Structure formats: structure tokens, C-alpha cells
Amino acid sequence: MRSGLDTAKVIRDKAAELFFEKGYDATTLREVATAAGLKVGSLYNHIASKEDLLLQVMGGIIDDLVELQQQALGVEGDAVERLRAVIECHMRFHAERARAVYIGNTNVRSLSEGPRAEIVAKRSAYERILEAQIEAAGDAGLVQLIDARLHAYSIVAQGFHVAGWYREGGRKSLDDIVADYTKIALRELKVVDADERVDVARAPAEA
Amino acid sequence: MRSGLDTAKVIRDKAAELFFEKGYDATTLREVATAAGLKVGSLYNHIASKEDLLLQVMGGIIDDLVELQQQALGVEGDAVERLRAVIECHMRFHAERARAVYIGNTNVRSLSEGPRAEIVAKRSAYERILEAQIEAAGDAGLVQLIDARLHAYSIVAQGFHVAGWYREGGRKSLDDIVADYTKIALRELKVVDADERVDVARAPAEA
DNA sequence: CCGGAGCGTACGATCGTTTGTTTGTAAGCA
DNA sequence: TGCTTACAAACAAACGATCGTACGCTCCGG
């Protein structure tokens, strides 16, 4: 018999796999149980309900994201440096924790009113901060904005998308992907010397 | 009693609404029936199965997209002109037919093996063509690529995303959104005079 | 020997789908 | 025009399957 904590972790992991591959609605608790080496009834020694399991799998991922964004906002430098940090943080998070992010983004609809509203609110607050940083860089005259909200959407979209396809051990390393996407984002904002800013950030000891 | 064709259309429309709002898996045929002013059994006078209804709603949308892409490939001009046309076509399609595209993208997983494989294949062929156009422009030295595939992903991602939020009568007109996103995409490719190229394309009779 | 953990079984609900029947409407014929 | 026939379409009802969940029993480790 496994220890209770181990079993709970196995359940979460297997559930995450299944939720990622088939979606929450299409995943059966019996499938989760089988994958975890259990019978369906035994799951209830570790979870309160199916929705509770989904929440465990999402596991405050949005809170982690918001927290990292706050850290990124604290970097030294001008508005563009700050924006670059926020974007890099955004892309890195969405690649590094792709599976959980993907599950979170695609299955919010399946949550009941309370938790859903909470998550949606946090996510839109996160996006508003990104947009505000973009606008700040625009106001400072350091970037040439087309439309702040659309730029924010564009960057958010790339995060969502990368969470859908990124896997460890793929064609490019995580660092390369993050660096490339950050370049891409800064290019669309027409930052002066956008590419160089990224390269400098990657090799700060070069000089 | 309505005519058969009208009823079939009402069913498709209401199903599209529900699939868009709640997702295919979470939508009940009884809900569809109620929304269409029918009882659940009556649906089967017009559909073969629930999956068949989903396929009707998706309705060859990927074929339409591929066809429009082919048209865009036929424009006069250099590799960048062609690329610009492909991108604009991409964004316009994803905004104009947002609901159907969104349903198609989020519910492929719920299809059975055959139709799913077909749609996935078409979609990835579509993406490969976009990527090829990007690479062609790069080879011609007209754009400065970071990574052709990532650029393609980036543009695809923006299409998916816009399909999730665009509604008629929003803050910006469809034409503005398309134009802005096209500018954004060309900027990330570092096209020479990217913004001007878009503006010229919007007002070709200016000269 | 006590309690946590797994198992077997079953529950009520709800799903997609099928069936037998009724009903509205349009065409064919007197 | 009136009556009949035919058929598409809507209905009520029920089907088997499957879902999430609950419960009581068994077993093993500390």
C-alpha cells in the first residue's frame, strides 16, 4: 500500500495527463483511477469530487503566474526593461508549466460559478497589467504602439499557444524558445534595438 | 410546422451558440432541442448523431480557410506582398467567422478518429504553407527571420485568439482589427517599411 | 488493535439514441 | 371545390450505457 500523500500525487499527475489529452469533460474518473492503479471508489479517499480534482490539478497556477509577474515588475531599468521582463516571464511560464496552464485555460468553463469567476478575474487582472506596461512604454516614447490592447492580446495568445505544443526535449530548448518569443514580442512593439535588448539580457556578462 | 430546411438551420445555429458557449461535450442534445423549440427525439429527423451535428456546425470551415489561402497566394507582387496577403486573409477569416473557427479549434478532440485526423491534417497543411511563405520571404532577403516556424506559430496563435474574443460591434471595426494584426505580424518579421505596406494595401488608390 | 486505504457494489441521474405513434400540410383525384 | 392519400416532422416514452458518487466490508501496517 502506498502512503496517502504519494497516492494523492499520483492521482493528480495521472489526472493532469488525461485532462491534458482528452479534456476534463471527456475524462472519466474511472480512467483516472485505472491510470493511478486504483478502483474508482478509492479516489474518494483523496479527493472530494471531480471538480475538486480539477482544481487541484490547476493548483493555483494563476496565482503563481501573477506572483512571477509581480517579481518581473520589480526589475531595474526603464519601462522597456520592465516590459521585457514581464514578457519573458510570461513566455517562460507558459512553456515551463505548459500542461497545467493548458488545462487551466481550456477547462475553466467546466468549473462551477464560484471558482470560475475567481480564476477569470485573476486572469483578466493579469492581462490588464501586461497591457498597462505596454502602454507605459508607449507613453515613455520607447515603443511605437499600434494598439495597446491588441499588443497585449497578441502576447497572451502566444503564451496560450506555446502551452499547447511545447514539450521538453523538442527541437529547441526552453531558453531558446523564450528568447525567440521575447524578440518577436519586442519587434511587434517596434522597440529600438529590440533584438539587441534580448541578447544583452541573455548574456549580461558579455561586456 | 416549419419546413425541414428551416428547422435544420435553426438546429445548427442554436447548436453553434451552445457549443461556442459551453463546449461540445458539456452541451446536451436536450439543450439543443429546447433552444430550437423541439423535443430531443425530433432532432433525429435532421441529424444522424451528435457528432454529425458537430461536423455540420464546423461545416467544412477548414476547407474554406484553405481555399481563401490559395486565393491569397495568387496575388501579384514579391514574396512579401504574397505573405502579407496570406496573413491578412488569415486574420480576416478568424475574425469574420470567429464562432465557427473557435468551435472547430476547441472541439476537434471530441471527434472520432476519422474526421479528427482529416481536420488535423488539413490544418497542419495550412500552417505549413504559411510557414513556407515566411521562409520564402526570408530567403528573398525581404524579411529578417528569427525562426520561421515560430513566426508561423505566432501568427496562427493570434488567429486562434481573435476567434475567441471578436464580436461584431465591438470597440474596433473588423477592418481595423485585421489591419492592426497584419501590421503586428509584419513587424515581427521585420519587413522593411512594414506599416507602410499595410497602409498602402488598404488605400491602393491613394497615388 | 485501530485507523487509513483499497475494493466491490450499487445508487440515482443523465446521457445519446431508438421506437411507435400522432399531426400538420401538400398533392392527386373526383 | 371537397375528399383521400402520402409523407415529413414532431412527439412521448423508453432504452441501455455510463456517469459521479456513496457505502460497507476487508486488509494491512504501525
**How do residues A33-44 score in pLDDT, each as one tens digit?**
999 999 999 999
Residue A148 has pLDDT above 90, yes or no: yes
The contacts of residue A162 (CB under 8 Å, 6+ apart) are A91, A94, A95, A98, A177, A181, B153, B157
- Using the structure block, give the residue that is written with the C-alpha cell 471531480: A50
The C-alpha atoms of residue B189 and residue B200 are separated, in whole angstroms, by: 18
Instruction: Of A81, A70, A62, A106, give the one whose Cα is nearest residue A191.
Output: A81
CA B72 to the chain's CA centroid: 14
CA nearest to B164 within chain A: A157
Q: In the prediction, which pLDDT does A59 show?
A: 85
Say what the pLDDT of residue A191 is: 87
Distance in Å, residue B41 CA to nucleotide D15 C1'? 13
What is the chain A residue with the closest CA to B23? Answer: A109
Question: What's the rounded mean pLDDT across residues A47-56?
Answer: 96
Q: Which CATH number fits domain B4-57: 3.40.50.2300, 1.10.10.60, 3.90.550.10, 3.40.50.280?
A: 1.10.10.60
Q: Which residues from A are below 8 Å from B22, CB to CB? A: 109
Q: Which of B146, B149, B154 sits opposite A158 (nearest CB)?
A: B154
The C1' atom of D30 and the CA atom of A24 lie apart, in whole Å, by 38
List, by residue range, all CATH 1.10.357.10 domains of chain B: 59-202
Does domain B59-202 correspond to CATH entry 1.10.580.10?
no
Of B180, B185, B188, the CB nearest to A147: B180
pLDDT confidence of residue A196 = 60
User: Could you give the residue range(s) of every CATH 1.10.10.60 domain in chain A?
Assistant: 4-57
Reported pTM: 0.90
Residues of chain B with pLDDT under 50: 204-207
pLDDT score, position A197: 59
User: Distance between CA B191 and CA B193 in Å, rounded?
Assistant: 6
SS3 content of chain A, % helix, strand, coil (to 5): 75, 0, 25
For B57 and D11, how far is CA from C1' in angstroms?
25
Contact assignment for A157 to B157 by CB distance below 8 Å: yes
- The torsion region of residue B116 among left (phi > 0), alpha (psi -120 to 50) and beta comes to alpha
